[in-house]
Amino acid sequence: MLRPAQLLLMLGLPLISPAAIPPVDETQVNDLLARMTQAEKIGQLSQGVINTPEEVAAASLLVREGRRGSFILSASAEQAATFRNQLQKVALEQSRLRVPLIFGYDAIHGYRTTFPIPLGLAAAWDAALVERAQAVSARETRAAGIDWTFAPMCDLARDPRWGRVAETFGEDPYLGARLAAASVRGFQGDNPAAPDRVAATLKHYVGYSATVGGRDYNATDVTPFSLRNAHLPAFQAGVAAGALSVMSGFNATDGIPAVADHHALTNILRGEWGFNGFVVSDWTSVEEAIAWGYAADRAAAARLALTAGNDMEMVSTTFEETLPAQLARGDLSPALLDEAVRRVLRGKLRAGVFAQPYTDPAALDRVALAPDALATAREAAARSIVLLKNNGTLPLAATARRIALIGPLADDAGEMLGTWPGHGRPGDVVTLAAALRQRLPASTRLDVEFGCELLETGPRTRALTDGSIVSDPAAEVDAAKAKKRWSSALAAARRADVIIAAVGEPRGWSGENASRAELDLTGRQSGLLAALAATGKPLVVVVFSGRPLVLTNVAAQSQALLQAWHPGLQGGPALAALLYGDQEPTGRLPISFPRANGQVPIYYNHAMTGRPTMVDYRDLTRAPLFPFGFGLGYTEFTYGAAEISTPPDGPAVARTIITNTGKRPGQTVAQFYVRDVACSVGARPVQELRGWETLTLAPGESRTVSFPLDSAALGFTDRQGRWLVEPGDFQVWIAPHAGTGTPLPYRLEKAL
Catalytic residues, by residue number, are: 282
Residues 236 and 271: beta-carbon distance below 8 Å: no
Amino acid type, 447: D
Q: How far is the CB of 464 from ligand GLC (least distance, A)?
A: 41
CB distance 719 to 681 below 8 Å: yes
Nearer to ligand GLC, 249 or 548 (CB): 249
Q: What is the SS3 assignment for 569?
A: coil
* Closest approach of ligand GLC to the CB of residue 692, in Å: 28
Minimum gap (Å) between residue 266 Cβ and ligand GLC = 22
- Coil/strand/helix, residue 483: helix
What is the amino acid identity at position 567?
A: P
* Closer CB to ligand GLC, 164 or 684, in the complex: 164
Which DSSP string do the residues of 68-131 spell out, in sequence order? -SEEEE-S-TTTHHHHHHHHHHHHHHTSSS-PPPEEEE--SS-SSS----HHHHHTT--HHHHH
- CB 513, min distance to ligand GLC, A: 8
Q: Name the nearest CA neighbour of 237 among 491, 9, 4, 28.
A: 4
Tell me the C-alpha distance between 95 and 62, whole Å. 9
Q: CB 105 → ligand GLC: shortest distance, Å?
A: 8
CB atoms within 10 A of CB 435: 19
Q: Which residue lies nearer to ligand GLC by CB, 150 or 565?
A: 150
How would you class 680 by CB atoms within 10 Å of its CB: exposed for 0-12, middle for 13-18, buried for 19 or more? exposed
DSSP 328-343: HHTSS-HHHHHHHHHH
| C-alpha triplet 100, 102, 107: angle, nearest 5° | 155
SS3 call for 142: helix
Tallying the residues shown for the chain, one arrives at 752
Binning the chain into helix, strand and coil, the percentages to the nearest 5 are 35, 20, 45
Rounded CA gap, 116 and 419, in Å? 10
**Residue 718 C-beta-side C-alpha neighbours within 13 Å:** 10
In whole angstroms, what is the distance from residue 561 CA to residue 533 CA?
A: 13
DSSP state of 640: P
Q: How far apart are CA 215 and CA 173, in angstroms?
A: 21
Nearer residue to ligand GLC within complex by CB, 282 or 313: 282
Q: Which helix (H) or strand (E) holds 575?
A: helix 571-579
Query: Shortest approach of ligand GLC to residue 201 CB, angstroms?
Result: 7
Max Cα separation, the chain?
82
Q: Shortest CA distance to 210 belongs to which of 260, 265, 164, 150?
A: 164
Q: Residues 143-168, buried b or exposed e (16+ Cβ, 10 A)? A: bbbbbbbbbbbbbbbbbbbbbbbbbb
Rounded distance between C-alpha atoms, residue 388 and residue 162, angstroms = 22
73 or 713: whose CB is closer to ligand GLC?
Answer: 73
Interface residue list for ligand GLC (CB under 6 A): 72, 106, 150, 203, 282-283, 512
Residue nearest to ligand GLC (CB): 150
| Residue 283 Cβ vs ligand GLC, minimum distance, rounded to whole Å | 4
Beta-carbon contacts of 491 under 8 Å, excluding residues fewer than 6 positions away, are: none
What is the closest distance, in whole angstroms, from the C-beta atom of residue 164 to ligand GLC in the complex?
A: 8
Residue closer to ligand GLC (CB basis): 258 or 713:
258
| Helix axis angle, 26-35 to 334-351, nearest 10° | 130
Residue 348's H or E segment, with its range, is helix 334-351
Asked whether the beta carbons of 268 and 239 are under 8 A apart, the reply is no
C-alpha triplet 385, 372, 188: angle, nearest 5°: 90
Give 285 or 671: the residue with its C-beta nearer to ligand GLC: 285
Shortest distance in whole angstroms from residue 279 CB to ligand GLC = 13
Rounded to the nearest whole angstrom, what is the least distance from the CB of residue 510 to ligand GLC in the complex? 14
Type of residue at 357: P
- 514/540 with CB nearer ligand GLC: 514
At 666, give phi and psi (nearest 5°): -165, 170
Question: Between 64 and 215, whose beta carbon lies closer to ligand GLC?
Answer: 215
Contact 287, 250 (CB under 8 A): no
Among residues 103 and 225, whose Cβ is nearest to ligand GLC?
103
745 bridge partner residues: 731
Taking the complex as a whole, the smallest distance from the CB of residue 72 to ligand GLC amounts, in Å, to: 6
Nearest partner of 200 among 265, 269, 141, judged by Cα: 141
- The smaller minimum CB distance to ligand GLC, of residues 171 and 512, is found at 512
**How far apart are alpha carbons 84 and 273 in whole angstroms?**
34
Report the nearest approach of ligand GLC to the CB of residue 153 (Å). 7
Rounded to whole angstroms, how far apart are CA atoms 638 and 657? 8
Please, which residue, 285 or 384, has the CB nearer to ligand GLC?
A: 285
> To the nearest whole angstrom, how small is the minimum distance from the Cβ of residue 217 to ligand GLC?
9
